[in-house]
Chain A
Amino acid sequence: MEHAEGQHDPATGHQHAVAVAQHHEVGQQHPLGIYFKIWGLLFVLSTASYLVDYFHLQGYLRWFLIITFMLLKAGLIVAIFMHMLWERLALMYAILVPPLLLLVLLWIGAVEGDHTFFTRGTFFGTAAEAPAKH
């Protein structure tokens, strides 16, 4: 323990910090061009998803397009702007895998919502017979 404490004397600690900083600079220093490209791409994708609403696309086509544009934008932000693309796999998996659990919550929520909708239709009579606009 004393040995470990000894390693944190100011001189070595400073050298260590510098070494880490230098190493890191090499790791996450990227040409500016890639940020401008992603910036532009995000504008295009946002415009596209806005146009989905503007032209009143409905049904499965609307859903497909909205979800696709959403996931593309999210992927670009996380991968490039947040530099996840260049991180080590250990960090990448630690952060990106746990949110997949949310799919279970999503599924439960959908089942629960449908069930509540049908019971409301059954027990609250005619007023509820018109299906809700999803």
Chain B
Amino acid sequence: MKQKDMTQDEYYRGIRMVPYDLVKELMLALAGVGIVAIAAAAIISSPDEPPVTIASWSQDDPVDFVTTATGELAGTTTSAGYGQPYNSTEDAAQKWGPFSPQTWFGVRIPIDSANTFVIQPLQRAAFSNSELSSALDAWSKAGSDQQGKWTDAYTKALADAKVVDNKVTVADGDYGSLPVMMSNLLGMAQSGGLDGLLQISGRFYQTDYTPALLFMGDGGYLGTLADKWSLHGDQWGMMNETGQYPGQTWLWLYTMWYQVFPFTDEQGVLGLNAGNADLGVIIIMTLLTAALALVPLIPILRDIPRWVPIHRLIWRGYYAPRKAKA
């Protein structure tokens, strides 16, 4: 009979058995892990950096906030041109040759960046604000060409913007309704009102923060804060946490691919490059995980333990007497 078909009693026949206490071993392990975990919890604690709010972002970096909001109107932000699953921007989805799983399920989480992040919140605030109401009216009546000229000019002017009393001022120019719209949006954000307005979904309870996080992600503020904690992808960010705490260190191999060619290069090789790094890394990790699961079936991989004598250390008690006999 082959070993794999044997019962346990048959498999161990002829092998010396020694006393063992499984339950005691488990209880000792529970106690040991408990002591270490409780001591670490009590002494070292755990990280908890407060979340960024739209209010804190707009108060700490009003220029970045207004620049991002203007970008949403211009359609130049990441989320505005993201592609699936938020919108159907052409050629925006990551792909490797004809393989583009990002497009397979279409727009399942529709986000219209300009309307969701800027226009709709302003419309809600305009009911008691005739100046804002007129500005929105003028914006909507202007053609897309005119809107584009205003956003271009305003974006350029924001590069030299000044912040006085937490308000953003730019050099005089033809920006149409934008200064009034942005001034109101900034005020609403700084008061905390925009945090709530971005979560409005027509339902009382809310647990989906997709709009607010996409809006924040379009700005530079979140990334600036993340930089000091080394949380960015090119800083092995997945392995790090805020403060001096370990992060998801078990993702070291996953995050490593983002640090090496071809995923650091715009040109790359074989169609894999920085532009489709997420897709490329997911493909590689899927293949590696499958290989790990199927190690017993893969020649060389399954033979390495036999070639590398680490097993002789692990079972040194077993191998030692055989050497003595020889």
A complexed with B = no
